[in-house]
Amino acid sequence: MLVLSRQRDESIMIGDTIVVTIVDIRGDKVRLGINAPSEVPVHRQEVYEAIQRENLRASRLEPSDTQDIGKLTGRSPSRPSDGRR
């Protein structure tokens, strides 16, 4: 792990396109500003881990596990969801 010291309003670069800036420091909290291309997902670690758990859970579903989804959403697979009939 690379450990850097930065003061408020100072930044670090990750590659050529991601800038992390120290926005504020209050006690034991540091506020970061992250400027990254829109195609680069940026999440807090706990949110990222929750997404990974949910993706893993969804990947383990069997086709029979999803047969009643249309009943829950009020949509059937043969009816478009964009309002067209």
Per-residue DSSP letters for the chain?
A: -------TT-EEEETTTEEEEEEEEETTEEEEEEE--TTS----HHHHHHHHHHHHHHHT--GGGGTTHHHHHT--TTS-TTS--
The number of domains in the chain is 1
Which residue range forms the structural domain that includes residue 31?
11-62
Q: What is the rounded distance in angstroms from the CA atom of residue 23 to the CA atom of residue 32?
A: 5
* Assigned token pair, 84: 């067209």
Confirm whether 38 is domain-assigned.
yes
> Is residue 83 in some structural domain?
no
78 falls within a domain = no
Does 48 map to a domain?
yes
Return per-residue pLDDT of the chain as tens, 85 residues.
Answer: 999 999 999 999 999 999 999 999 999 999 999 999 999 999 999 999 999 999 998 888 777 777 777 776 666 555 555 655 5
Q: Give dist(CA 33, CA 25) in Å, integer.
A: 12
